[in-house]
Amino acid sequence: MTTQPPELELRETISQLTARVDALEESAGHHRLSIGVMSGNLDTTIAAFIIALGAVAYDMEVDMFFTFWATAALRDPKKSTPKKLLDKMFGWMLPRSSHRLPLSKMHLAGIGPKMIRSVMQSRGVKSLEQLMKEAAELGVRVHVCEMSMGVIGLKQEEMSDYPGIDYVGVGSFIQMISEFKQVVFL
């Protein structure tokens, strides 16, 4: 701005610019998406996996974080594990697997989810379980909130065999919020 800087100053300017671009690139989040899933309804869980698969098709890396009620969507109905009474009670009240998730609206004592599933099938939309299978094949990572499982009384032994599923602290989700390009919370 003032007098023309000598070449040394020019180099200094470029080196500072490079450092700033380094920092920006790190904070830009490398085209990664995190999907927080909390409500554990059939409709929101389907939406979460449709978004996940779509983002993979757009070359984003996708990490899903299942917390609170949504952890029950990952129960495997074929597995069971000995539990204390309180945990058993939670277990009875929570959906036994993705097949039993309620609708957020028009649940109608369980008729709503059956209707939606049947209509989706007749219209060629993939079922939640097919979406999950496809997500696994395409490398969508599934993380489950350990603290939530503890509160709700779920054990790792009764959870889905989703490939690479892991049980993590809240810090993992925060790291995604902090580092990824985008976060969507359902």
Q: Which span sits near its own copies by CB under 8 A: 75-83, 115-123, 129-137, 157-165? A: 115-123
- The least CB distance from residue 137 to its own copies, in Å, is 18
Q: Please give the C-alpha separations between residue 11 and each of 16, 21, 75, in angstroms, as whole numbers.
A: 9, 15, 58
- The least CB distance from residue 95 to its own copies, in Å, is 10
- The least CB distance from residue 102 to its own copies, in Å, is 8
Residues 6 or more apart in contact with residue 164 via CB below 8 angstroms: 136, 141, 142
132 counts as binding its own copies under rule CB under 8 A: no
141-145 sheet: strands from edge to edge: 166-168, 141-145, 61-66, 32-37, 182-185
84 counts as binding its own copies under rule CB under 8 A: no
22 versus 161: smaller Cβ distance to its own copies: 22
- Token pair 């007098």 is found at 3
Distance CA 178, CA 54 (A): 22
- The least CB distance from residue 62 to its own copies, in Å, is 10
Distance CA 12, CA 101 (A): 60
Distance CA 61, CA 117 (A): 28
14 counts as binding its own copies under rule CB under 8 A: yes
- Pick from 110, 114, 147, 156 the residue near its own copies by CB under 8 A: 147
Phi, psi of 64 (to 5 degrees): -105, 140
What residues make contact with its own copies under the rule CB under 8 A? 4, 7, 10-11, 13-14, 17-18, 20-21, 24-25, 27-28, 31, 33, 36, 38-40, 43-44, 47, 50-51, 54-55, 57-60, 67-69, 86, 93, 104-106, 116, 119-120, 123, 125, 147, 150-151, 153, 170-171, 173-175, 177-178, 181-186
